[in-house]
A and B are shown apart, each in its own frame.
Chain A
């Protein structure tokens, strides 16, 4: 495989030696974490394939598309409206931020106490190992947390095509107006980039494609309510991760296919964990590829993850965009309405999130919640404490984990997680 794509990677300006190294680590990690799982649904074969071709075939597809004039837009956050990108016939890809890379280089331009996610984005750029960053015609940075906001000032000097989107911090009418203004500005910019005017029909189509993708994931989530759990949390997380860079239509089909299979499983009461195995809801910071550390620890300690209250998970896909509007402005309003409900911790106050965590714990029959905060992530770490208190007060056992992408704390995390699972038994 490597030989076939080497020229492509070279042309993108990747550092082939470093890239090889990354691919090796990634491949090994995938092997150890995913392929060792028992009774995986057959439908996971597709996602195995996607993962094995994540820097190969998928990039080739994107580049082939570019030759035909299809633009590629990269993003770091679920606030970048994919509907608009789709409507202009461009492709939105999430830029993975789930591994440490070129840390020394990164720490020359960012303070050490920056969260792993931000550092990772910089590491992939500075280490020249991410074909998505290099294929993107435009990269969208959003003003969410202070870390991202300020780091984009630096990132903008590393890439030629950074577009910064402002975002509100409060769920007020003024906040909503800001979001609307920003989405219009984004639409204009995307139109300019692609040369495609976004009209009602195109926008409706964009909404439909993205909604279908969300619906498929909703269907999967519903099925995960079954006991025994029919799919591992790791596999479900992987599907949620692939959500961000696969072709949306093919992705939707593949998720629906695996759902058909899982539906059969639930009928025969078969699953990936024993019936009655402790069920965990994960909540907190997003987990981007290849950040599988915590779920892997949880699921090798005898519990099964049944939901992710995360942007790579339910927070990211929870709501659909209404497609009933008949004018462009009505559709744009529907998009604003949909995204304005995203309960990211950068908002203040943010009571919806707490409610959602509780609701999800009940809906998925979780026995406990593990709150995952990245070190130096102020928004989520600060919310972690009230979340923990409120959940414990509601008799939902909660474990708060603060960690990063390094493997140093694996043993300690195992002890914490196992002790938490002992509490649930």
Chain B
């Protein structure tokens, strides 16, 4: 049997298919969500063979209504996905395009407490993207750009608009852009970790989501956390993977 998980996020749509016989991934794809998530999802699913479809992410209902199958929340999907990749994981920090989640797991790997920052872009991938644009640095390079910075400056605001104003005023006072970028990254990390601290105090922690591809964020998360930080090879796919795994064990 093939089980497919589809994670419809506000920025990207991901799918992962798993073969039940060996729990191996047989497909893994992603695409931008755009303004036509349904069209994009349809394209992404094209050619996927499968008996079971499990949707997750903020577009899970949309998927369920159009493609059938079942839906689970991104909290449960991440819990399943992270535990599958790292069986020792106790908590999850996921920083995605437009939301940040912190989840603690119980002994069986079930999500216990969780926090989500989902009402504004503060501290999410979107925030970094916005800042990268204002620094005129491609988002893929923003992390390494920041790593060239020296610690010392401080960005106090987490609101995208205010943080940009702070960055601009630091710039006007002659601070190095790399140092400002570093400070911006640090502020994202501090905020995310305090969110994680509200749900758990024990690790190891899986750090997932697109932002886990940013080397500066990764380095700072590792530095700021006392616990072990585990980063999946494909950190963006954890939600879709979890959804696919759910399909293996649940028939309805």
Chain A positions within 8 Å of B, measured between CB atoms, are 392, 397, 408-409, 411-412, 415-416, 418-419, 422-423
Contact = CB atoms under 8 A, between A and B. Distances in A.
B75 interface: yes
A415 B42 CA distance: 23
7 contacts: A409-B119, A415-B74, A419-B74, A419-B76, A419-B111, A419-B114, A422-B73
Contacts of B58: 411, 415
Given A422-B72, A422-B76, A415 B111 contact: no
B118 A423 contact: no
Specify the main secondary structure of chain B where it touches its partner: mixed
A407 to B, nearest CB: 13
Contacts of B112: 397, 423
A415 B75 contact: yes
Interface of B: 58, 72-76, 110-114, 116, 118-119
B111 A423 contact: yes
Specify the main secondary structure of chain A where it touches its partner: helix
A399 to B, nearest CB: 9
A155 to B, nearest CB: 30
A412 B116 contact: yes
A199 to B, nearest CB: 56
Contacts of B114: 416, 419
A408 B110 CA distance: 29
Contacts of B116: 412, 415-416
B74 A422 contact: no
A290 to B, nearest CB: 23
B72 to A, nearest CB: 7
A387 to B, nearest CB: 14
Nearest to A413: B118
A392 B106 CA distance: 13
Contact of B73 (A397, A408, A409, A415): A415
Contacts of A397: 112
A418 B112 CA distance: 13
A215 B75 CA distance: 42
Contacts of A422: 72-73, 75-76, 111
Contacts of A408: 119
Nearest to A398: B113
Give me the 5 closest cross-chain CB pairs, A-B, nearest first.
A419-B75, A419-B73, A412-B118, A418-B73, A422-B76
Contacts of A412: 116, 118-119
A419 B76 CA distance: 7
A392 B111 CA distance: 14
Contacts of B72: 422
